[in-house]
A and B are shown apart, each in its own frame.
Chain A
Amino acid sequence: MSARKLLCALALLPGIALAQTQAKGMDDLLNRIRQDGAASAKLNQEREARFLRDRSAQAEMLQKAEAEHASVKARSDAIRARYEANQKQIAELKEQFKTRAGDYTQVAATVRQAAADFRSHAGDSPLSTQFPERLAVLDALSADDAMPGQADIEKLWFVLQQEMTENGRVARFQGEVVDTQGSSTKEEVIRVGAFTAFRDGDYLVPQPGGNQLLELLHQPERGFRSLARKFADRDEATAPILIDPTGGTLLAQEALRPSLGERIEQGGAVGYVIIAVGLVGAVLAIWQLAWLLRTDRAVRRQLDNVAQPSQDNPLGRVLATFKGDPNTAAEDAEVIELRLSEAVLREVPKLERFQAFLRLAVAAGPLLGLIGTVVGMIITFQVITEQGAGDPRMMAEGISQAMIATVLGLGIAVPLLFINSLLAARSRVITQILDEQATGLLAERLEKARA
């Protein structure tokens, strides 16, 4: 029982405590509200006071800005007035200038025109590398608003006269040269009039519009370059030199022309076949010609000494087939002749070696060339069919490439034909000696032996 009461009491305790604290909290809340109200009222008062203060400051700022605006406007009006006055003055001065200049404007226009024309010419001339200052003069004279004075016109006169004088002169000078790598250096340049310039055998072309010289990327052929090199070393009054009257255009065209190696490459597979046939033929022919000349010499030696046939030459070998008694030779005539003719037959193939092949090569060369040309033509016309015949350049290039094969074919046929005729003539003489004279030589020897 008591325990239950205790429990109850215990259970009630918190409830009582809660009620007490609640009562206390309400008071506090009231207090706090009161305090808060007072505080916010104070805050509002402060804010209002600040607003009032600020408003007067704003008004002050506004006044200040308006004053500034007014002063600036006044200044701008003054400036505008001055600008307009200036404009008017300029118009007046221009008018005055026009009336005063009168005919002189035409003079100035003419000078300007002449300077501009000459500037475009001078930009593409090697002389501008030697006299770079003249370009600045011309630029100043050809400016749009240039009104040249007497001194300026005299300068123009001077550069024109200089151009004429220097055109007929060969000169060495230090000039800006841009090599094929693009780096520019000061080097000694030789120029011939305004036509050609070169340095150490390399031809140079003027940089368009500038005062530098560019080294040609594809130099012309070796002969022309050595000509330039020799020209530089000569001290005589006259020396031959290549002159390009177009000032570089022709040189560039010349450089575009394919070299021999490039041409052969254009010939393609057929071209290489032709060259191979030609080389093989030439090697064989030269080797055989050397052999024939040696044999010829040996045969001649043998002719002087018929009595001792040696084995190192055809005639000796043929004569050596006769073995027997000189006295009974006449009776065995037929046998001797047979033996000799057999020996001759053994020798002849060696003498006439390679001639059949060379004749074949002579006939085949132009024919192979024809094949190459026809194939090239077919390809050219194929391209024309695909792309239209609007460009004669393309067609010309194709045909010229096609014709290389014919050139090569003829090129091998001519020397091979010549050398083959030499071989035929040589071998024919030796064969004749063996065939028709060996028996006679033998007979002579036998007669001497009998006598």
Chain B
Amino acid sequence: MLEQFWYGLLAPFESIDTFVESGGWVLPWIFIAGLVMWTLIVERWWYLRYAYRKERETLTQTWKARPEHKSWHARQIRRMMISRINVRLVGSLPLIRVIVPLAPLLGLLGTVTGMLEVFDGMSALGYADARTMSDGVSHAMVATLAGLAVSLSGIFFVGRFQTLSMVETELFADALEY
């Protein structure tokens, strides 16, 4: 019973292990890229959901507390506030945005090295059959798949956060009335 429970706990790790095994040397790198990307995505989501509201509130209060909102000084300060909020909103988005094309590139690297393995096997044996080629082909295909999967999983969030950062900047600008 306990043993079964233990194996049940280990099952996901085992399946990841077999997956990495069948994907060759590039898979850990794709995995790291995916991990970094998702950490950043979660961090962005957390910021937009919680931290951003507070920051926006304090800045809006500072603006409202000003005695006047019409002078050159006031306008420049308003521009600065908007810029600051925009910097905070964008945050690590460029990094997320670069991992989207990076992951398929890594996958492609795995594909090419996998094909190299196939040809190495062929040149070692002097003939080609499915058995000698299967290992290299598996590495090539699994690496490509993993790269594309990581890339696709991030694409939606990149677009979403980009829109959000733009929209929220605009909304903040609207909130600072003069």
Residues of A within 8 A of B (CB): 253, 256-257, 329-330, 333, 391-394, 396-397, 399-400, 403-404, 406-407, 410-411, 413-414, 417-418, 421-422, 424-425, 428-429, 432-433, 435-437, 439-444, 446-447
Contacts and interface: CB of A to CB of B under 8 A. Distances in A.
A414 B76 contact: no
Given A407-B113, A436-B82, 14 more contacts: A256-B124, A257-B120, A330-B72, A396-B122, A396-B123, A400-B120, A403-B112, A404-B116, A406-B112, A413-B105, A414-B105, A417-B101, A418-B98, A447-B77
B112 A407 contact: yes
A425 B76 contact: no
B119 A432 contact: no
B124 A400 contact: no
A76 B115 CA distance: 82
A432 B95 contact: no
A364 to B, nearest CB: 14
A400 B123 contact: yes
Interface of B: 71-74, 76-84, 86-87, 92, 94-95, 97-98, 101-102, 105-106, 108-109, 112-113, 115-116, 119-120, 122-128
A432 B83 contact: yes
Nearest to A439: B76
The 8 closest A-B pairs by CB, nearest first: A440-B80, A421-B98, A436-B83, A396-B122, A400-B119, A425-B94, A443-B76, A396-B123
Contacts, number: 108
A421 B95 contact: yes
B107 to A, nearest CB: 10
A346 to B, nearest CB: 20
A401 B106 CA distance: 20
Chain B interface, DSSP helix/strand/loop, else mixed: helix
A424 B94 contact: yes
Contacts of A418: 98, 102
B102 to A, nearest CB: 6
B77 A444 contact: yes
A446 B73 contact: yes
Nearest to A340: B76
A436 B79 contact: yes
A421 B97 contact: yes
Contacts of A393: 122-123, 125-127
Contacts of B73: 329-330, 443-444, 446-447
A439 B128 contact: no
A437 B159 CA distance: 27
B84 A437 contact: yes
Contact of B124 (A253, A407, A414, A436): A253
Contacts of A443: 72-74, 76-77, 80
B169 to A, nearest CB: 11
Nearest to B125: A393
Nearest to B115: A403
Nearest to B82: A436
28 contacts: A330-B71, A330-B72, A333-B72, A392-B127, A393-B125, A393-B126, A397-B123, A400-B119, A406-B112, A407-B113, A407-B116, A413-B105, A417-B102, A424-B94, A429-B87, A432-B87, A433-B83, A433-B87, A436-B80, A437-B79, A439-B79, A439-B80, A440-B83, A443-B73, A443-B74, A443-B77, A443-B80, A446-B73
Contacts of A403: 112, 115-116, 119
Contacts of A444: 73, 77, 80
B14 to A, nearest CB: 18
B41 to A, nearest CB: 16
Contacts of B87: 429, 432-433
Contacts of A396: 119-120, 122-123, 128
Nearest to A257: B120
A410 B111 CA distance: 11
A414 B116 contact: no
Contacts of B76: 439-440, 442-443
Contact of A441 (B80, B124, B128): B80
Contacts of B108: 410
A146 B82 CA distance: 102
A164 B80 CA distance: 83
Contacts of B77: 440, 443-444, 447
Contacts of B92: 425
Nearest to A414: B105
A411 B106 CA distance: 8
A406 B108 CA distance: 10
Contact of B109 (A400, A410, A441): A410
Contacts of B106: 414
A404 B79 CA distance: 52
Given A256-B124, A396-B128, A414 B80 contact: no
B113 A421 contact: no
Nearest to B105: A414
A432 B81 CA distance: 12
A444 B71 CA distance: 12
Nearest to A441: B80
B94 A421 contact: yes
Contact of B105 (A333, A394, A410, A425): A410
A391 B126 CA distance: 7
B51 to A, nearest CB: 18
A410 B115 CA distance: 14
A308 B93 CA distance: 33
Given A411-B109, A414-B109, A437 B123 contact: no
Contacts of B113: 407
Contact of B86 (A400, A407, A432, A442): A432
A277 B123 CA distance: 31
A225 B123 CA distance: 24
Contacts of A428: 94
Contacts of B128: 392, 396
